[in-house]
Amino acid sequence: MKANVLLISRNLPPLVGGMERLNWHMADELSKYANVNIIGPKGAVALKPKNLKLTEVPLKPLPLFLLVALLKGIWIALRWKPDVILAGSGLTAPIVWITSKLCGARSAVYLHGFDITVKNKMYQLFWSPTFRKLDTVIVNSTPTKNFALAAGVAEKKIRIIHPGTILPHAPLPESVIDAFKKKHHLANKKILLSVGRLTTRKGLKEFVALALPAIVQAEPKTLLLIVGETPKNSLGAGMQTQEDIIAAARLNHIEGHIKFLGVITNQIELSTIYEVADLHIFPVRDIPDDPEGFGMVAIEAAAHGIPTVAFATGGVIDAVQDGKSGYLTKSGDYNELAKAIISTIQNTSLNWKITTKSFAQCFSWEEFGKKISNSIKNQEWHSQGGEK
């Protein structure tokens, strides 16, 4: 008999980002091993996988989301009797802890770096202590584990499970690639790709100002292709805008070397963009209060045979294997970053497709789902002390 898992998270579509993709896949993969019920933001039902049940609550204001999620969580838990209640991020961990105590379920949370380090007095006072009380704390990288240990979480409770990715079954036809290049005027370009939200931590404005000019000088046909936009409902993260990035480019007379594609959610179109690119760049800034928990986009790029050049900061050190899926450079050293990028796009003798795809193999969503299932069930599924 399948066990019951209740997932509570604000980080789900219609919000867009790595955490949202992760929670969707986590729920979908867990449904192979358990009956999964979700409490998520309004608008998520229309986008959910068919095999999942989802109860919507208002996305904002945040206090209303938390209150309604708590009340609906208690209502569902007392009636449905879940074996495990799982928080999709640190934000819903207190709801999971309270609800699990009321119904006798095991409790778990999936934490990203910012979930632990966010400098908010109320959050640190009421949210962070909850992590120590949960039965299982799953973290997305080695650095996030260290943050959890520093926050007082017992090491025996912590499991490192890296986010996954979709592994393409075969390369897209050349005709599809050529059509995309023609549509966006990308023929004969050296394409650098950035995928992700335009936040301060992602560091695109600084990259454009401090690294891209040298790259363009060495390779005049370089084009930076940007997928993503400034998040509208993100909590805590500092923002950058398209205008900020264009202004930085204009100051360096390279605005013609940047193209924005906006948010892309269609998987085929996103795969096409990855395969069009020569290199994925990940110039994440080292911000102590806002660390990069992992770097799912680096794994996605590797799955499509595209190397990543990145700063070695936060969980990026787990997402990029130096020399196999790309290169890691000293954090904040834009000269070194630019040199690594120039070397990579000029050295066409290296066959990155073999090594990057090999690296990405162990990050499939299927493997992710198995590891999550094993972590939260604690050998056997239990409910109130008895096996189901």
pLDDT digits (tens, 9 = 90+) for 76-98: 999 999 999 999 999 999 999 99
Q: For residues 114 and 254, state if they share a domain.
A: no
Look at residue 169 and tell me if it is in a domain.
no
What percent of the chain shows pLDDT beyond 90? Answer: 75
CA atoms within 13 A of residue 29's CA, in its CB half-sphere: 21
Position 232 scores a pLDDT of 67
Query: The domain containing residue 39 runs over which residues?
Result: 3-164+364-387
What b/e sequence results for 27-47 when a residue is b if at least 16 CB atoms lie within 10 Å of its CB, and e otherwise? bbbbbebbbbbbbbbeebeee
Q: For residues 246 and 208, what is the distance between their CA atoms, to the nearest angstrom?
A: 9
Q: For residues 181 and 144, state if they share a domain.
A: no
Q: For residues 312 and 286, what is the distance between their CA atoms, to the nearest angstrom?
A: 9
Q: For residues 231 and 315, state if they share a domain.
A: yes
Strands (E), the chain: 3-8, 34-41, 53-57, 84-87, 106-111, 136-139, 158-160, 190-195, 222-227, 258-262, 279-282, 308-311, 326-329, 382-383, 386-387
Cβ-based neighbours of 346, under 8 Å, separated by 6 or more: 218, 219
Distance linking the first and last C-alpha atoms of the chain: 7
Ranges of H-type helices in 124-230? 128-133, 142-150, 174-183, 204-210, 212-218
> What predicted TM-score, i.e. pTM, was given to this entire model?
0.83
Of these ranges, 46-60, 87-101, 281-295, 369-383, the one predicted with the greatest mean pLDDT is 87-101
Residue 383 has pLDDT above 60, yes or no: no
Look at residue 297 and tell me if it is in a domain.
yes
Q: How many domains does the chain have?
A: 2
Q: For residues 118 and 385, what is the distance between their CA atoms, to the nearest angstrom?
A: 35
Residue 250 has pLDDT above 80, yes or no: yes
Look at residue 286 and tell me if it is in a domain.
yes
Residue 384 has pLDDT above 50, yes or no: no
Pairing type for strands 34-41 and 53-57 reads: parallel
Q: For residues 274 and 131, state if they share a domain.
A: no
Q: For residues 177 and 164, what is the distance between their CA atoms, to the nearest angstrom?
A: 25
Cβ-based neighbours of 234, under 8 Å, separated by 6 or more: 17, 197, 199
CA atoms within 13 A of residue 147's CA, in its CB half-sphere: 29
Q: For residues 193 and 229, what is the distance between their CA atoms, to the nearest angstrom?
A: 14
pLDDT band at 378 (very low <50, low <70, confident <90, very high): low
Tell me the two tokens of residue 242. Answer: 């398209």
Position 381 scores a pLDDT of 41
pLDDT digits (tens, 9 = 90+) for 349-377: 778 999 999 999 989 999 999 999 998 87
Q: For residues 148 and 129, what is the distance between their CA atoms, to the nearest angstrom?
A: 11
pLDDT digits (tens, 9 = 90+) for 16-32: 878 898 999 999 999 99
Under 8 Å between Cβ of 115 and 94: no
Pairing type for strands 382-383 and 326-329 reads: unpaired
Look at residue 112 and tell me if it is in a domain.
yes
Q: Please state, rounded to an integer, the average pLDDT across all residues of the chain.
A: 91
Residue 217 has pLDDT above 60, yes or no: yes
Strand partners, 224: 192, 258
Compute and round to an integer the Cα radius of gyration of the chain: 21
Q: For residues 235 and 147, state if they share a domain.
A: no
Q: For residues 132 and 372, what is the distance between their CA atoms, to the nearest angstrom?
A: 19
Position 382 scores a pLDDT of 41
Degrees, nearest 5: CA angle 207-303-354: 100
Under 8 Å between Cβ of 28 and 49: yes
Q: For residues 243 and 336, state if they share a domain.
A: yes
Tell me the two tokens of residue 310. Answer: 């990145």
Please tell me whether residue 328 adopts helix, strand or coil conformation: strand
Average pLDDT over residues 253-264: 94
Q: For residues 354 and 275, state if they share a domain.
A: yes
Q: For residues 122 and 210, state if they share a domain.
A: no
Average pLDDT over residues 115-125: 88
Look at residue 48 and tell me if it is in a domain.
yes
pLDDT digits (tens, 9 = 90+) for 306-334: 999 999 999 999 999 999 999 999 999 99
If 0-12 CB within 10 Å is exposed, 13-18 middle and 19+ buried, where does residue 98 land? middle
Position 388 scores a pLDDT of 37
pLDDT digits (tens, 9 = 90+) for 137-178: 999 999 999 999 999 999 999 999 999 998 998 888 889 999
Average pLDDT over residues 222-249: 84
Position 387 scores a pLDDT of 35
Helix, strand and coil content of the chain, in percent to the nearest 5, comes to 45, 20, 35
Q: For residues 182 and 246, state if they share a domain.
A: yes
Q: For residues 358 and 371, state if they share a domain.
A: no
pLDDT band at 113 (very low <50, low <70, confident <90, very high): confident
Position 235 scores a pLDDT of 54
Q: For residues 230 and 148, state if they share a domain.
A: no
Find tokens 């933001």 and name the residue: 41
Position 385 scores a pLDDT of 36
CATH number of the domain where residue 159 is located:
3.40.50.2000
Closest to 227 in 3D by CA, of 195, 181, 186: 195
Q: For residues 160 and 197, state if they share a domain.
A: no
Find tokens 């207190």 and name the residue: 94
Alpha-carbon distance values, 99 to 7, 11, 86 (Å): 11, 19, 10
pLDDT band at 287 (very low <50, low <70, confident <90, very high): confident
Q: For residues 172 and 75, what is the distance between their CA atoms, to the nearest angstrom?
A: 47
Look at residue 137 and tell me if it is in a domain.
yes
What percent of the chain shows pLDDT beyond 70? Answer: 96
